[in-house]
Structure 1
Amino acid sequence: MLSEYEKKRLKNIETNKQILRELGLERPPTIEGYVKKTSKPNNRRAANTNRNKDTTSSETGDDSISRGRGIRRSSRLAKLPAKSFEEIEVVERKRDSYISKKDLDWRKYRPNPKRFGEIPDVEVGAWWATRMECSHQGVHAPPVAGIAFAESEGAYSVALSGGYEDDVDWGEAFTYTGSGGRDLKGTKNNPKNLRTGPQTKDQILSAGNLALKISCETNKPVRVIRGHKLDNEFAPKEGYRYDGLYTVEKWWEETGLSGFKVFKYAFKRMAGQLPLGTCEKSVK
C-alpha cells in the first residue's frame, strides 16, 4: 500500500504534467538520437576551447579561463553554519573574502556569468566533472545554489540536480521547484545533506524565486545544466552537462511534499539548438 507521502508525490507529478500539457508541451514519444554516456568522458578538466589561440586574452578582453585551477576553501568558510538556502546564497557571496588572491586569478579569465543567453565558446552538450568547473566556464556560477540570478532582472541559469521528487523532466520541457525553506543542517546520519534537507517553512518570493518569476514575464533565456543526480534518461551518467537555453513559461504556488508552500516553474527549451543529449562531451 502506498504511503501518504507517495500518494502526494504522485498527485503532484500528475499536476505538473497537466500544467506542461496545458502549455502545449508534451513528452516526446521517443528520445531517438539521445545518447547517454556509459562511462566518464576522457577529459575531466574544463578549459576554454580557444585557450591556446590567444595568449594575450587578459589584455584584449577575449573570453578564456585558466587551466582548471580549483578554488581552495578556507577553514573559516567551511565552519560557517548553513541553515537555509538563503544563507547558502549569502555564504557564496561572501566566499571571495575567504579565498586567497592567488586562487582568484582564474576569475580574470572566466567568461562573465552575469549575462542572459549563451556563453561564448560553450556549445550544447559541454560537460564538466564538477559544479566548480562549470562555474569556471561561466555557465552556472554558484557551486551549490541551483539558481544564478539578478533579483531585479531575472535568472541567468539553473541547475537540475533532482532535489525535489515531484518535479517532472521531459527533456524539452520540465518543472522546477524554487529555493528556500529548507533546513540545511541535515540529520545525525547525514549532517551535510545540503541538497535534500527537509522543508521546514514556506518558500518566499524573493532572490532566485523572484528572478525566475521575472524571467517568466520578460521571456529572457535561461541556461540549463543537468547533473548526474537526476533520476531520468536525460541526466548525464557522471558530472554536469550544459543542455542549452530555456524560457520560463509559467510560475505558480503549490503545497510541497512537506506541507509547506513552494514556488514552481515550467520551462520550455528554445528552438534552433543542437538536439538534446546528442553532443555530450567534456570541454576542451
Structure 2
Amino acid sequence: MLSDYEKKRLENIEANKRILRELGLERPPPILPAAATNKKKAGKTSKNKRKNKNVIENEDANKPNKRIKERLRHKNDDVLSRDDGIRRSSRLAKLPVKVFKEVTFDETDRYKKASEWRKNRPDPKQFGEIPDVKVGAWWQTRMECSHHGVHAPTVAGIAFVEDEGAYSVALSGGYEDDVDWGEAFTYTGSGGRDLKGTKQKPKNLRTAPQTRDQVLAAGNKALKISCETSKPVRVIRGYNLNNEYSPVEGYRYDGLYTVEKWWEEIGLAGFRVFKYAFKRMPDQLPLGTCEKSWSDSEVEEDDD
C-alpha cells in the first residue's frame, strides 16, 4: 500500500506532466545512453599471455637469471646504521645522502591559484552559449564545469543575476516530483532547505529536508524573469538524476533551454515551492551526444 507521501509524489508528477503537455510538449522517444561517458580501460593483457614469474624463458636452466645474479652479488652487503643518516647498504654508502627540504603550505597560495583560474576561464555571467563549448561537453566534477564557464556555482543549482535572469541551471535530482523528458522538464526553485543538511550528509544542502517556504527572490526571481524575457538558459545534467537522460557519471552540457512557465504550489514537504517548465531550443545537437574523451591520466590501469 502506498504511503501518503508516495501518493502525493505521484500526483505531483502527473500534474507536472499535464503542464508540459498543455505547453505543447511531449515526451520524445527514449534515447540510448552515450557509451562515450564510460571510462576507457588500458589494454588488458591476457593472463595466459603474461610471463610466468617462476619460469625463466629463453635461458638455460643451469644459468642463473640476471635478477638472481644481481641479488647474489649484493647478498653479503654490510648493513649499516641509519641513525646518523648513513645509507644502510655498503654498496650505496659512498653515494651522497639525499636531503629533503621541508615543504611548508601557504594558505594564501591556494586562494591565489583559485583567483588565477577564475581570471582565465570564459565569463560565466553571459546568456546563451559559451564560446568553444558544444552540446555534449562533459566534466568529471562541477568544479571542472565551473572552470569552463558553463555553470559557475559548484553547489547551487541556479547561476543568475536576480534582476536580469538565470544564466544556467544544474539538474541533479534535488526534488523527487520533478519530470525530465529531455527536450522539456520541470524544475523546482531553490531555498527553504535546512542549512545543516541531513544526518548522513550534513553539508549537502541539495539533500537536506525542506523546513520553510521558498521565496520569490534570488535564483527563483531570476528564473521568473527568464520566463518573461525568454532569454536562453544553459542546462547541465548530473549523474545522480536517475533517469535515461543523465550521464553515466560526471556532468554534461545539454544546450540551451527557455523557461516557458512558472508557478507556485505546495511541495511534498508541505511548504511552498516555485516550479518552472523548461523547453529545449531548436537547432541544437541531439541529446545523448557526448564529446568526452578520456585523457591519459584518467586511463585506469589493470594490474590483475
Q: Report the TM-score range of the alignment, normalised by the length of the smaller protein.
A: 0.7 to 0.9
Asked whether the equivalents of residues 40 and 238 of structure 1 are also in contact (C-alpha less than 8 Å), the reply is: no
Deviation at 1:40, TM superposition (A): 3.1
Amino acid at match of 1:249: E
Asked whether the equivalents of residues 198 and 209 of structure 2 are also in contact (C-alpha less than 8 Å), the reply is: no
Residue 153 of structure 1 aligns with which residue? 164
Q: Secondary structure at the match of 1:101?
A: helix
Instruction: Pick from 105, 119, 127 the counterpart of residue 116 of structure 1.
Output: 127
- Relative distance call for 1:155 and 1:123 in structure 2 (3 A) is same
The CA distance in 2 between the partners of 1:28 and 1:187, in whole Å, is 36
Amino acid at match of 1:9: R
In structure 2, list runs of 5 or more residues that go unmatched: 42-104, 296-304
Q: Deviations over 1:155-187 (max 9, x none)?
A: 000000000000000000000000000003123
- Relative distance call for 1:38 and 1:122 in structure 2 (3 A) is closer
The answer as to 2:51 corresponding to 1:35 is no
Q: Secondary structure at the match of 2:263?
A: strand
Amino acid at match of 1:40: K
Instruction: Pick from 162, 185, 204 the counterpart of residue 193 of structure 1.
Output: 204
The answer as to 2:266 corresponding to 1:255 is yes
Asked whether the equivalents of residues 234 and 255 of structure 2 are also in contact (C-alpha less than 8 Å), the reply is: yes
Asked whether the equivalents of residues 146 and 159 of structure 1 are also in contact (C-alpha less than 8 Å), the reply is: yes
The answer as to 2:148 corresponding to 1:137 is yes
The CA distance in 2 between the partners of 1:141 and 1:130, in whole Å, is 12
Amino acid at match of 1:14: E
Asked whether the equivalents of residues 219 and 248 of structure 1 are also in contact (C-alpha less than 8 Å), the reply is: yes
The CA distance in 1 between the partners of 2:213 and 2:161, in whole Å, is 22
Amino acid at match of 1:213: K
Segment of structure 1 superposing worse, 103-112 or 239-248: 103-112
Amino acid at match of 1:248: V
The CA distance in 2 between the partners of 1:159 and 1:283, in whole Å, is 23
Residue 238 of structure 2 aligns with which residue? 227
Normalization by structure 1: what TM-score?
0.77
Asked whether the equivalents of residues 126 and 282 of structure 1 are also in contact (C-alpha less than 8 Å), the reply is: no
Runs of 4 or more, structure 1, over 6 Å off, are none
Asked whether the equivalents of residues 124 and 151 of structure 2 are also in contact (C-alpha less than 8 Å), the reply is: yes
Counterparts of residues 197-276 of structure 1 (less than 5 Å): 197-276=208-287
Normalization by structure 2: what TM-score?
0.72
Deviation at 1:189, TM superposition (A): 3.4
The CA distance in 1 between the partners of 2:234 and 2:109, in whole Å, is 28
Instruction: Pick from 174, 178, 183 the counterpart of residue 189 of structure 2.
Output: 178
Residue 3 of structure 1 aligns with which residue? 3
Q: Deviations over 1:14-57 (max 9, x none)?
A: 000000000000001343x6535562368xxxxxxxxxxxxxxx
What CA RMSD, in Å, does the superposition of the two structures yield over aligned residues? 2.1
- Bigger radius of gyration among the two: 2
Q: Deviations over 1:46-75 (max 9, x none)?
A: xxxxxxxxxxxxxxxxxxxxxxxxxx9x7x
Asked whether the equivalents of residues 138 and 251 of structure 2 are also in contact (C-alpha less than 8 Å), the reply is: yes
